[in-house]
Amino acid sequence: MGEHGGIAPTFLFSHLSSPFIGDSSVIASNEGTVIRHHLGHYAVQTADRVVVCALSSRLRKQLEYPQAAPGSRRQRVQSVRRVRVIDPVAVGDRVIFNDGEDNTGMIREVCPRRNKVSRRASGGSQKEQLLAANVDQIVPIVSAREPDPDWHLLDRMLGIAEWQRIPAAVCLNKLDLADETWAHRVMQSYEAMGYPVVYTSIVSGAGKDAFFNLLCGRTTLFMGPSGVGKSSLLNYLQPGLHLRTGPISKATGEGTHTTTHTELVALDKGGFVGDMPGVREFYLYDIPPEDIPLLFRDFHPHLAACRFRDCSHIHEPNCAVKAARNAGKIAPQRYESYLKLRERP
Ligand SMILES: Nc1nc2c(ncn2[C@@H]2O[C@H](COP(=O)(O)OP(=O)(O)OP(=O)(O)O)[C@@H](O)[C@H]2O)c(=O)[nH]1
Ligand SMILES: [Mg+2]
Ligand SMILES: [Zn+2]
């Protein structure tokens, strides 16, 4: 966090009137991966250095305001204000930047993404908020206690992964605070759906090797509410990182929102892990309601057997999903999650 403190808020961009701006036929020499974003500054990792970049206004406008009237002053002011809410560049993005002085620069292009992890921005907005790009897997982290598991939030995080077709595995952390039999029982339905589950504790050391193997050589995004131990797990797996961790509030039993911005951390043995700030709510961006059942892997075997092809699995007769739920083949808590997602995607 602290390393941003010394960066001057204004960059000198006069030297950036390069004839190459916007010409994608030019072979980029300045290419890198965004490993951190904080307050409008993007840390871009290249082969040999980290460059702190700002975003070109052309890029912001192009992505934020496709129909912005050129030359309209009001539009320009609005765009700068709104860009802060929804960011067109995410951690994990490959970007092309123009070099400035003292390892500063300006991002002028985002390379095509393999995938992206996003959510609908909070506050009733219909806009997309990018959380990360180009990840190999998503690992939602749930703590056994302190805070208690939020199963619906887990289903939403897995839903995001399914929607983007990104592989997911689940980590149940703070195993030292729980009964192991209980832990395996509550995770059994997720294992049955084919999600790998690792059971970890930074106190007892449980699950260290299994978790490490899961992360090695891949780009992983950790997700989960505040306080489940995302940063602690990373510190534990890779000593020397010194990511900030924080206590659980006695008053609320929740975390205290210690991590404030997403950071991609390189593992010594290969691979990257994105440590994210705790997420309290996770609304899906731009999903057609009829596609929501597809986010539930445990629904898949039953979907073709409903009487109506466009069955919503809520009130129709002869619904195979509801039948599976009543027969114990779909966990009641998963079906509840589905109803909540239909109500408020
Ligand atoms: N008992 C126990 N405590 C843990 C474990 N892992 C983390 N903690 C504690 O949980 C608290 C929160 O840990 P953090 O790593 O800051 O949690 P976080 O998920 O990064 O939280 P945010 O950054 O706020 O999203 C700290 O007090 C950790 O020491 C664990 O396995 N067992
Ligand atoms: Mg953290
Ligand atoms: Zn149905």
The residues pairing with 95 across neighbouring beta strands, listed in sequence order, are 32, 110
Question: Is CATH 2.40.50.140 the right assignment for the domain spanning 2-112?
Answer: yes
Is the C-beta atom of 227 inside 6 A of ligand 1? yes
232-270 b/e with 16+ CB inside 10 Å = b? bbbbbbbeebebebeebeeeeebbeebbeebbbbebeee
Q: Collect all residues with Cβ–Cβ distance below 8 Å to 78 and sequence separation of at least 6.
A: none
Is the C-beta atom of 219 inside 6 A of ligand 1? no
Q: CA-to-CA distance for 262 and 275, rounded, in angstroms?
A: 6
295, with CB counted inside 10 A (0-12, 13-18, 19+), is: buried
Task: Name residue 310's amino acid.
Answer: D
Gap from CA of 315 to ligand 3 centroid (Å): 8
Q: Is residue 4 predicted with pLDDT exceeding 90?
A: no
Is the C-beta atom of 229 inside 6 A of ligand 1? yes
Confidence class of residue 144 from pLDDT cuts 50, 70 and 90? Answer: very high
Closest atom of ligand 1 to 257 CA is: 24
Selection from 120, 110, 99, 140 nearest residue 37 by Cα: 110
Q: What is the pLDDT of residues 87-136, one digit of tens each?
A: 889 999 999 999 998 999 999 999 999 999 999 887 777 788 999 999 99
Cα-Cα-Cα-Cα dihedral sign, residues 88, 215, 45, 222: positive
Closest atom of ligand 1 to 235 CA is: 15
Gap from CA of 234 to ligand 2 centroid (Å): 9
Q: What is the pLDDT of residue 69?
A: 44
Q: Is residue 76 predicted with pLDDT exceeding 50?
A: no
Is the C-beta atom of 247 inside 6 A of ligand 1? yes
Question: Is CATH 3.40.50.300 the right assignment for the domain spanning 117-275?
Answer: yes
Gap from CA of 34 to ligand 2 centroid (Å): 19
The whole-number average pLDDT for the span 203-211 is 98
Q: CA-to-CA distance for 91 and 223, rounded, in angstroms?
A: 14
Is the C-beta atom of 203 inside 6 A of ligand 1? yes
Q: What is the pLDDT of residue 12?
A: 32
Look over the chain and give the mean of its residue pLDDT values, rounded to a whole number. Answer: 86
Confidence class of residue 280 from pLDDT cuts 50, 70 and 90? Answer: confident
Tell me which of 228, 230, 232 to substitute to probe ligand 1's pocket, judged by most ligand atoms within 8 Å of the beta carbon: 232
Instruction: Please check whether residue 49 is in contact with residue 99, taking contact to mean a CB–CB distance below 8 angstroms.
Output: no
Gap from CA of 323 to ligand 3 centroid (Å): 9
Q: What is the pLDDT of residue 29?
A: 65
Q: CA-to-CA distance for 298 and 302, rounded, in angstroms?
A: 8
CA 192 to centroid of chain Cα atoms: 24
Q: Among the ranges 14-23, 64-73, 137-146, which has the highest mean pLDDT value?
A: 137-146
Kindly state the helix (H) or strand (E) to which residue 27 belongs, with its residue range: none
Task: Name residue 144's amino acid.
Answer: A
pTM of this prediction exceeds 0.75: yes
Tell me which of 245, 261, 265 to substitute to probe ligand 1's pocket, judged by most ligand atoms within 8 Å of the beta carbon: 245
Q: What is the pLDDT of residues 241-271, one digit of tens each?
A: 999 999 999 999 999 999 999 999 999 999 9
105-142 b/e with 16+ CB inside 10 Å = b? bbbbbbeeeebbbbbbbeeeeeebbbbbbbbbbbbbbb
CA 199 to centroid of chain Cα atoms: 21
Token pair, residue 101, equals 């002085």
Confidence class of residue 299 from pLDDT cuts 50, 70 and 90? Answer: very high
Kindly state the helix (H) or strand (E) to which residue 31 belongs, with its residue range: strand 31-38
Which residue has the CA at smallest separation from atom 32 of ligand 1? Answer: 174
Q: What is the pLDDT of residues 33-67, one digit of tens each?
A: 999 998 889 999 999 999 999 998 877 765 544 44
Q: What is the pLDDT of residue 294?
A: 97
Q: Is residue 8 predicted with pLDDT exceeding 80?
A: no
341, with CB counted inside 10 A (0-12, 13-18, 19+), is: buried
Is the C-beta atom of 262 inside 6 A of ligand 1? no
Confidence class of residue 281 from pLDDT cuts 50, 70 and 90? Answer: confident
Question: 317 vs 43, 187, 256, 320, 336, CA distance in Å?
Answer: 54, 31, 46, 9, 18
Instruction: Please check whether residue 254 is in contact with residue 227, taking contact to mean a CB–CB distance below 8 angstroms.
Output: yes
Gap from CA of 165 to ligand 3 centroid (Å): 23
Closest atom of ligand 1 to 202 CA is: 31
Q: Is residue 74 predicted with pLDDT exceeding 80?
A: no
Gap from CA of 168 to ligand 3 centroid (Å): 25
Confidence class of residue 21 from pLDDT cuts 50, 70 and 90? Answer: very low
Question: 229 vs 118, 271, 306, CA distance in Å?
Answer: 22, 20, 41
Q: What is the pLDDT of residues 153-167, one digit of tens each?
A: 999 999 999 999 999
Is the C-beta atom of 1 inside 6 A of ligand 1? no
Q: What is the pLDDT of residue 125?
A: 73
Q: Is residue 16 predicted with pLDDT exceeding 70?
A: no
Q: What is the pLDDT of residues 107-119, one digit of tens each?
A: 999 999 999 999 9
Task: Name residue 191's amino acid.
Answer: E
Is the C-beta atom of 245 inside 6 A of ligand 1? yes
Query: Which of 26-35, 175-184, 225-234, 282-291 has the least mean pLDDT?
Result: 26-35
Closest atom of ligand 1 to 255 CA is: 24
For the chain, give every domain's residue range. Answer: 2-112, 117-275, 289-343
Q: 289-343: which CATH number, 3.65.10.10, 1.10.40.50, 2.60.40.420, 1.20.210.10?
A: 1.10.40.50
Strand-strand pairing, 170-173 and 128-133? unpaired
Is the C-beta atom of 255 inside 6 A of ligand 1? yes
Is the C-beta atom of 140 inside 6 A of ligand 1? no
Q: What is the dihedral of CA 286, 289, 294, 295, to 10 degrees?
A: 50
